[in-house]
Amino acid sequence: MDISEVARRTGVPSSTLRFYEKKGLITATSPAGERRRFAPDVLDQLALIALGQAGGLSLDEIGAMLSPAGAPKVDRKVLSAKADEINATIKRLRAMSEGLRHAAECPAANHAQCPTFQRLLKVAAAGRLRQRRAPGNLTGWGG
């Protein structure tokens, strides 16, 4: 199938398909210089790429798991580490959500009078200070 058909069926722009081909994630079956054509299994490869990206994997990590034969070579350690990273992010975001919810619904007349809000401020400040002191952080600011 030609590149426009692949783009239409997957929703992946032609420019992205050419980029994926350049990175070696997918392979065209047509000779160089001709309109790009792909084997039908490119749809499965693109689905794997989309799944990997949704899971937070980089294109390099995804590429390492794709094989020319078509069967993915799943690196379980990479997937496990990525799952741990996602779980840590979820935990951090859940705590932030609960803190914001409390601040929005706090019965205290002023947030400065709310012990829970004051604890949240101290935790946030301590986290920011840890980021500022992190090794290799030359700017003095986190991130």
d(CA 29, CA 49): 19
10 located within any domain = yes
Work out the angle at residue 62's Cα, subtended by the Cα atoms of residues 46 and 137, and round it to the nearest 5 degrees. Answer: 135
Contact 2, 36 (CB under 8 A): yes
What pTM, to 2 d.p., does this model score? 0.67
Here the CATH number for the domain that contains residue 18 is 1.10.1660.10
Count of Cβ atoms closer than 10 Å to residue 58 Cβ:
11
Residues 114 and 60 in one domain: no
Residues 83 and 60 in one domain: no
Residues 60 and 82 in one domain: no
Answer whether residue 5 shows pLDDT above 70: yes
d(CA 17, CA 6): 9
The residue type of 4 is: S
Per-residue pLDDT at 68: 66
Per-residue pLDDT at 39: 92
At which of 65, 85, 110 does a domain end?
65
Q: Range with the lowest mean pLDDT among 45-49, 67-71, 74-78?
A: 67-71
At which of 65, 94, 112 does a domain end?
65
Q: Span 116-134, mean pLDDT?
A: 70
Q: Range with the lowest mean pLDDT among 15-19, 32-36, 105-109?
A: 32-36
Residues 8 and 61 in one domain: yes
Answer whether residue 116 shows pLDDT above 90: no
Domain with 112 in it: 76-132
Per-residue pLDDT at 93: 87
**Domain count for the chain:** 2
Per-residue pLDDT at 22: 92
139 located within any domain = no
138 located within any domain = no
Residue recorded with tokens 């919810």:
101
Mean of per-residue pLDDT scores for the chain: 83
d(CA 108, CA 128): 26
Answer whether residue 129 shows pLDDT above 80: no
Residues 36 and 80 in one domain: no
Query: Who has greater pLDDT, 69 or 100?
Result: 100
Count of Cβ atoms closer than 10 Å to residue 134 Cβ:
10
Contact 29, 37 (CB under 8 A): yes
Contact 25, 49 (CB under 8 A): yes
